[in-house]
């Protein structure tokens, strides 16, 4: 991979990061009326309001505030929680592992379901298996996770008693949240694996592999799938954002102690600096994953490079 492409991709990611930080910074200024009054309530003393205004830096000119926000970020200082008075970076660091664990298990679930399903649907195109797989795919993107979660809890936790209702306590507690979060991704991935594999199966090299007398499993895995991975990997990178966004609702359903439930709790407590922190960390994680996906994509496919693909 040429270094020009890497530099160009990284610099465009840096611009996006600056934009993301700016929007997250402006979030607190979207509070209708006086944000300090909204946070403290109308009955708060004027002195408390002024103290909070000064603590948040809201008494400074907007550009100065933005500069201070960037400056704070550079040293991982996101301010303090209005509710617990703890540094926001510490609160986020406490919650991040739970969200990452959930995202990894959800991704794992999606891949384990989607790849065999997509392959079977492509190899047996038009069969009942194909219709069933695509039916699952259509259902998977249509079932909202805030409905699926409670139904899974009803069946597996309340009726069968095989999984905990909520919380994070051991591997068994991640099963239902991961299924809830991963189903939509599994549905989208299964579709992509199917269409990507169908395209490759019509290529000459697959016909050649079959003509050589290779068993069908080797034709699929060694020849067809190796070429069908690229769009699937890209889609996985792009969908990670949806996964992280969906984690907000899934974590709330299962009281999973991650960044998503922290975001909702902070909105309810009007702890807006923590809201800013949650949005910032999740979005930056998304930017990093997308940039890495692009770089991996370019590394494994020499056709996809800046300037070569237009």
List of residues contacting other proteins (CB under 8 A): 12, 15-17, 19-20, 23, 27-28, 30-32, 38, 138-139, 141-144, 146-147, 150-151, 153-154, 158, 241-246, 248-249, 252-253, 263-264, 267-268, 272, 275, 278-279, 282-283, 286-287, 290
Q: How far is the CB of 20 from other proteins (least distance, A)?
A: 5
Paired tokens of 97: 């592992």
Q: Are 52 and 35 in contact (CB under 8 A)?
A: no
Cα 210 from chain centre: 39
Q: How far is the CB of 218 from other proteins (least distance, A)?
A: 30
Q: How far is the CB of 89 from other proteins (least distance, A)?
A: 18
Burial call 204-240: b when 16+ CB within 10 Å, e when fewer: eebeebeeeeeeeeebbeebbbebbbbbbebbbbebb
Residue 281: partners with Cβ closer than 8 Å, 6 or more residues away: 92, 96, 259
Q: Which is nearer to other proteins, 91 or 220 (CB)?
A: 91
Q: Which is nearer to other proteins, 225 or 246 (CB)?
A: 246
Q: Which is nearer to other proteins, 144 or 215 (CB)?
A: 144
Q: Which is nearer to other proteins, 11 or 208 (CB)?
A: 11
Place of tokens 């997250």: 24
Q: How far is the CB of 179 from other proteins (least distance, A)?
A: 16
Burial call 25-43: b when 16+ CB within 10 Å, e when fewer: beebeeeeeebbeebbeee
Q: How far is the CB of 214 from other proteins (least distance, A)?
A: 32
Distance CA 170, CA 177 (A): 13
SS3 80: strand
Count the Cβ atoms, other than its own, within 10 Å of residue 106: 27
Q: How far is the CB of 151 from other proteins (least distance, A)?
A: 7
- Per-residue DSSP letter, 258: S
Q: How far is the CB of 63 from other proteins (least distance, A)?
A: 18
Q: Which is nearer to other proteins, 89 or 166 (CB)?
A: 166
Distance CA 60, CA 51 (A): 13
Q: Which is nearer to other proteins, 179 or 278 (CB)?
A: 278
Paired tokens of 282: 């999740």
Q: Which is nearer to other proteins, 33 or 213 (CB)?
A: 33
């Amino acid at each position: 991979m040429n270094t020009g492409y890497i530099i160009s991709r990284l610099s465009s990611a840096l611009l996006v990061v600056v934009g993301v930080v700016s929007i997250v910074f402006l979030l607190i200024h979207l509070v209708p009326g006086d944000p300090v009054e909204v946070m403290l309530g109308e009955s708060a003393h004027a002195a408390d309001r002024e103290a909070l205004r000064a603590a948040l830096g809201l008494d400074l000119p907007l550009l100065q505030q933005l500069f201070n926000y960037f400056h704070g970020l550079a040293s991982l200082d996101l301010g303090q929680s209005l509710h617990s008075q703890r540094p926001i970076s510490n609160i986020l660091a406490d919650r991040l592992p739970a969200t990452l664990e959930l995202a990894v298990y959800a991704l794992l679930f999606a891949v384990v379901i989607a790849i065999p399903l997509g392959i079977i649907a492509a190899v047996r195109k038009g069969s009942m298996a194909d219709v069933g797989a695509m039916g699952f795919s259509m259902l998977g993107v249509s079932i909202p996770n805030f409905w699926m979660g409670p139904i899974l809890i009803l069946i597996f936790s309340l009726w069968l008693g095989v999984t905990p209702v909520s919380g994070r306590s051991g591997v068994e507690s991640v099963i239902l949240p991961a299924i809830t979060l991963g189903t939509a991704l599994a549905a989208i991935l299964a579709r992509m694996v199917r269409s990507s594999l169908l395209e490759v199966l019509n290529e000459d090299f697959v016909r050649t592999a079959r003509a050589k007398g290779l068993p069908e499993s080797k034709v699929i895995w060694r020849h067809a799938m190796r070429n069908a991975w690229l769009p699937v990997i890209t889609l996985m990178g792009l969908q990670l954002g949806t996964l992280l966004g969906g984690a907000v609702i899934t974590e709330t359903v299962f009281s999973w102690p991650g960044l998503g439930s922290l975001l909702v709790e902070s909105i309810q407590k009007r702890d807006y600096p923590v809201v800013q922190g949650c949005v910032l960390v999740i979005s930056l994680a998304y930017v990093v994953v997308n940039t890495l996906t692009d770089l991996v994509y370019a590394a494994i496919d020499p056709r996809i490079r800046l300037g070569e693909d237009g």
